[in-house]
Amino acid sequence: MEATEAAGGIVLTSSIDPAFGIQIVRHVELVPGEPVMRIRTEFHKLAGSHVTVAVWTITEMPEPERIGILLPEESQLADGYIRLMGPEPAGFKFENGVLSLIRHDRELVKIGSDGASMVWVGRNSVVRIDAQQGPGEYPDGGCVTQVYTNPDPQNYVELETMGPLVTMREGDIIERTTAYRVTPRSKPDSQADAIQALWRQHFQGC
């Protein structure tokens, strides 16, 4: 990626991917006076035959105390989520519309949901991630967000946001925005902090 300065942040530009004929442009912006970062990802179709793709943003983070996903009131998924890899998540809970889990220390685990907001709860802070929503067919059976947890000894997790599948032809551009807000922990219980962060009013960004 080539990085250039921009107002409030940077722009990262890739080379043209030889398989897809797509150049990726990421606009990373810090919001003045707020603990918020926005990443707008653009796909520019510059060469080759048409392809069907979705903007997919992966955020890799160290092991949390808990991860939460705010599910929609009327989920399109039978259980509100689907298992994409491995066994059922470790520490699985569902409370006040929030599905939560911890990292499985022995198995690769991945789930998907049609909820658009997730939180990572660490020892001292909470990171909320909001995906831009909109109509369309989403990957992996309708997933707007996905969570992957890696087993020991590499104790990390990935919080992923997806846009709808789009068939791109030369000259097309698609984009999606993912917004991040960092706040300090306010409760001794990680589940309570996850629920509180997810039920705060959806902040501006997506």
Strands (E), the chain: 2-6, 9-16, 22-30, 36-45, 51-53, 56-62, 66-70, 81-85, 90-95, 98-102, 109-113, 117-121, 125-131, 145-149, 156-162, 166-168, 173-184
Q: What is the pLDDT of residue 204?
A: 44
Q: Residue type for 44, please?
A: H
User: Which stretches of the chain score pLDDT less than 70?
Assistant: 201-206
CATH number of 2-199: 2.70.98.10
Per-residue pLDDT tens for 110-150? 999 999 999 999 999 999 999 998 999 999 999 999 999 99
H or E element in which residue 58 lies: strand 56-62
